């Protein structure tokens, strides 16, 4: 049996240190807004390469707070447009509509699966205020052309870095430090995962950081004085302590993912299967390993691998514009995105998957016809 991802194994990998950290917090008697948060925020900001990291409840909230803060600061207002990839997890879109912003969906490139930077300019209007890029599947989606467009039209660049902790642009900057602000998720299955929910915003903008810190804590900068109608969205001390442990090993864990990915790239040979192209300027920390299955055979490959004890997952079976919650978008057509959702399948990958397991996955896949 080769599970898609065994969180039990992932936790066991650094298990002793994690248990020590949890015990330290349990015994301390201090569970929110304490030293563990301060320490993790400092460590994470240094790791990503930004002046600020602000812990919050989860990755969706991190993205919501970025846009909410821009609205509170008068940079954006409800009704403004934000360009966002059509091929993404629903949370990216929810963060916009939750703030009354209008998502303007942009198709991905069919061979990289990331936002197509050649289509963005055609979507810019006088109401556009920002571009969101999502480093989907762990792959850097930033291109210099995107940066140039932000400068040309005076747009904020927001990164959804939920799937790409530790990934770099070819110039050395880490994803999460390239745009004006970035949302990060520490959902357990992510490359940097907590033992529950968690998230963070990174930015170099001190006004934005201060506003977000308040928004995520009842809208309050000083206890019992509320500047904004905020919410309670905090990273708890146990999660912060766990994340500080796991952050130390993130680069090593990502290298292992890259090793598995290299193996898949080298050995998967099946005319029914295409792999996303690898480009020198697009580093990848392989949160997921997506393959594209031709000939309408995705679901049968999924079933065949399942019958052979190999877990795979579709990312994502229904694109955001086809979701029931976005009825107004259902009639729109994004053929590349729809194609990806109909033929994508994610193979097992993670810090604990052995090369033997990868070899087993490859031999089953190559035998599929």
Radius of gyration of the chain (CA): 20
The piece of 116-124, 157-165, 209-217, 328-336 that touches ligand PLP (CB under 6 A) is 157-165
Site for ligand PLP in 213-272 (CB under 6 A): none
Which residue lies nearer to ligand PLP by CB, 177 or 357? 177
Q: How far is the CB of 266 from ligand PLP (least distance, A)?
A: 27
Beta strands across the sheet bearing 273-274? 273-274, 289-293, 344-347
Phi, psi of 210 (to 5 degrees): -65, -40
Which of 105, 158, 162, 208 forms a contact with ligand PLP (CB under 6 A)? 162
Task: Fill in the per-residue mask, 189 to 218: x = in contact with ligand PLP (CB under 6 A), - = not in contact.
Answer: --------x-x-------------------
Find where tokens 């766990």 sit. Answer: 242
Nearest residue relative to ligand PLP (C-beta): 59
Size of the site for ligand PLP (CB under 6 A): 15
Site for ligand PLP in 36-95 (CB under 6 A): 58-60, 88-89, 91-92
Residue 292 pairs in a beta bridge with 274, 344
| Residue 137 touching ligand PLP (CB under 6 A) | no
Q: Residues 6 or more apart from 257 whose CB is under 8 A from it? A: 138, 191, 285, 286, 287, 349, 350, 351
Burial 169-208 (b: 16+ CB within 10 A, else e): beeeebbbbbbbbbbbbbbbebbbbbbebbbbbbbebeeb
Q: How far is the CB of 91 from ligand PLP (least distance, A)?
A: 3
Residue 258 class from Cβ within 10 Å (0-12 exposed, 13-18 middle, 19+ buried)? middle
Site for ligand PLP in 168-187 (CB under 6 A): 185, 187
Which residue lies nearer to ligand PLP by CB, 160 or 357? 160
Q: How far is the CB of 337 from ligand PLP (least distance, A)?
A: 14
For 115, which DSSP code? B
Which of 101, 113, 131, 134 forms a contact with ligand PLP (CB under 6 A)? 134
Q: For residues 153, 155, 161 and 167, what is the CA-based torsion angle, rounded to 10 degrees? A: 40
Q: Residues 6 or more apart from 152 whose CB is under 8 A from it? A: none
Q: How far is the CB of 164 from ligand PLP (least distance, A)?
A: 9
How far apart are alpha carbons 238 and 227 in whole angstroms?
28
| Residue 166 touching ligand PLP (CB under 6 A) | no
How far apart are alpha carbons 240 and 35 in whole angstroms?
9
Site for ligand PLP in 329-358 (CB under 6 A): none
| Residue 103 touching ligand PLP (CB under 6 A) | no
**Binding interface with ligand PLP (CB under 6 A):** 58-60, 88-89, 91-92, 134, 160, 162-163, 185, 187, 197, 199
């Amino acid at each position: 049996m080769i599970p898609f991802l065994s969180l039990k194994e992932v936790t066991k990998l650094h298990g002793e240190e994690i248990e020590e950290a949890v015990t330290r917090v349990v015994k301390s008697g201090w569970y929110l807004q304490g030293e563990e948060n301060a320490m993790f925020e400092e460590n994470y900001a240094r790791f990503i390469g930004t002046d600020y990291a602000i812990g919050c409840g989860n990755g969706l909230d991190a993205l919501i707070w970025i846009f909410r803060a821009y609205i509170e600061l008068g940079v954006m207002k409800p009704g403004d447009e934000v360009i966002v990839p059509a091929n993404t997890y629903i949370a990216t879109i929810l963060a916009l509509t939750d703030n009354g912003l209008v998502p303007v969906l942009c198709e991905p490139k069919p061979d990289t699966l990331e936002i197509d930077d050649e289509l963005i300019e055609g979507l810019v209007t006088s109401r556009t205020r920002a571009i969101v890029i999502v480093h989907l599947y762990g792959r850097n989606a930033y291109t210099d052309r995107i940066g140039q467009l932000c400068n040309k039209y005076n747009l904020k660049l927001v990164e959804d870095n939920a799937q790409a902790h530790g990934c770099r642009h070819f110039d050395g900057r880490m994803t999460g430090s390239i745009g004006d602000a970035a949302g990060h998720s520490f959902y357990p299955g992510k490359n940097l995962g907590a033992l529950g929910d968690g998230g963070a915003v990174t930015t170099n903008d001190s006004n934005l950081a201060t506003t977000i810190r308040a928004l995520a804590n009842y809208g309050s900068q000083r206890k019992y004085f509320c500047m904004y109608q905020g919410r309670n969205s905090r990273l708890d001390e146990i999660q912060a302590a766990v994340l500080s442990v796991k952050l130390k090993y993130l680069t090593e864990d990502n290298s292992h993912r890259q090793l598995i990915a290299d193996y898949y790239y080298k050995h998967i040979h099946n005319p029914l299967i295409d792999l996303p192209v690898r480009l020198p300027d697009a580093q990848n920390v392989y949160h997921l390993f997506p393959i594209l299955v031709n000939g309408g055979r995705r679901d049968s490959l999924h079933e065949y691998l399942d019958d052979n004890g190999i877990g795979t997952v579709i990312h994502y079976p229904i694109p955001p514009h086809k979701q029931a919650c976005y009825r107004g978008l259902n009639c729109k057509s994004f053929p590349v995105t729809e194609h990806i959702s109909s033929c994508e399948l994610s193979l097992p990958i993670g810090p604990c998957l052995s090369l033997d397991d990868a070899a087993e996955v490859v031999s089953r896949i190559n035998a599929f016809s």
